[in-house]
Amino acid sequence: MKIITSVAEMQEWSSAERSAGNSVGFVPTMGALHEGHAKLFSESVTRNQRTVVSIFVNSLQFDDASDLEAYPRQLEQDCVIAERENVHVLFVPNHKEMYPDGFTSIISTGSIASHMEGLHRPGHFDGVATVVVKLLNAVAPTVSYFGEKDFQQVAVIRQVVRDLNIPCEIASVTTVRDKSGLALSSRNMRLTAEHLGQAPQIFILLSQIAEQCRTHETSSAAMKNRFNTELPAVTAATVEYVEIVDSNTLRPAQIATNGTTICVAVWFGDVRLIDNVSI
């Protein structure tokens, strides 16, 4: 596995591979890799001649400096996972390489990013979109892979790629969960033992609500109230939001029914988890 740290070298490598007729799959990450990331890598390796994984903790998408500081960093372990999954290139630029002195341009992501994550984390998706576009320009992939746990993020990136005419397919991959149902996340390692034992209740309750909505036409307000009431009753969680949206447009839905998705953000202490289940 080759490790590249500069944008110029990354562009040169990718140009040579594409000139040789090879498709390039790309998975952008912030490191602290886990089996959810590994599934993305596997999808790319299966579908493409070459696979690039980036590791860059993007300061622009954090609205809380302490959250940025606490984000886990474990490059040595990440290299082991990437090599195990037959990744060809690990792209590991530093902050100055991505945001050199004088950098000022930020992408505005518009209305699709104005609610849920965008409402509760001001500027988050502008930061995500900016770094993803920079990474896509560096790697120039045929297709880029994102996990469906970040449901709104996938929709935002698809919109940005479409609006800016970036020649790259955006592929989403099903959320990977542990045996308890908890969605795999780099943030899980920051949970206390007590909270780690309680966190699977997020998916359990989401699944119960989704099943109810599949068989009975139900108002979104009633289902949101159920989640807001029941999760804190059985865990130490604080619910930040629960929204039911059209799975394609992400517009709020009045009725929780087929073709909608339940999206939630929950706090366990100072750790924020997100999840979603489509109906």
pLDDT at site 128: 97
| pLDDT, mean of residues 114-132 | 95
Per-residue pLDDT band at 131 (split at 50, 70, 90): very high
Assess whether 34 carries a catalytic annotation: no
Q: Does the structure show a pLDDT above 90 at 18?
A: yes
Which amino acid is present at 225?
N
Query: pLDDT > 90: what percent of the chain?
Result: 93
Confirm whether 2-173 and 186-274 share one CATH topology. Answer: no
pLDDT at site 196: 98
pLDDT at site 142: 98
Q: Of the residues 34, 37, 124, 195, which is catalytic?
A: 37
Residue closest to 253 by CA, chosen among 274, 279, 227? 279
Between residues 64 and 240, the one the model is more confident about: 240
Domain 2-173 in CATH: superfamily?
A: HUPs (3.40.50.620)
- Looking from the CA of 219 toward its CB, the CA atoms found within 13 Å total 3
Three-state helix/strand/coil letters over the chain? CEEECCHHHHHHHHHHHHHCCCCEEEEEECCCCCHHHHHHHHHHHHHCCEEEEEECCCHHHCCCHHHHHHCCCCHHHHHHHHHHCCCCEEECCCHHHHCCCCCCCCCCCCHHHCCCHHHHCCCHHHHHHHHHHHHHHHHCCCEEEEECCCHHHHHHHHHHHHHCCCCCEEEEECCCECCCCCECCHHHHHCCHHHHHHCCHHHHHHHHHHHHHHHCCEEHHHHHHHHHHHHHHHCCCEEEEEEEEECCCCCECCEECCCEEEEEEEEECCEEEEEEEEC
Per-residue pLDDT band at 39 (split at 50, 70, 90): very high
Residues in the chain: 279
Query: pLDDT > 70: what percent of the chain?
Result: 100
Question: What's the alpha-carbon Rg for the chain, to the nearest Å?
Answer: 19
* Each residue's pLDDT tens digit, 75-115: 999 999 999 999 999 999 999 999 999 999 999 999 999 99
Q: Domain residue spans in the chain?
A: 2-173, 186-274
Per-residue pLDDT band at 17 (split at 50, 70, 90): very high
Per-residue pLDDT band at 23 (split at 50, 70, 90): very high
Q: Does the structure show a pLDDT above 90 at 170?
A: yes
Topology (CATH) of 186-274: Pantoate--beta-alanine Ligase; Chain: A,domain 2 (3.30.1300)
* Each residue's pLDDT tens digit, 133-153: 999 999 999 999 999 999 999
Bridge partners, residue 146, by sequence: 172
* Each residue's pLDDT tens digit, 193-239: 999 999 999 999 999 999 999 998 899 999 999 999 999 999 999 99
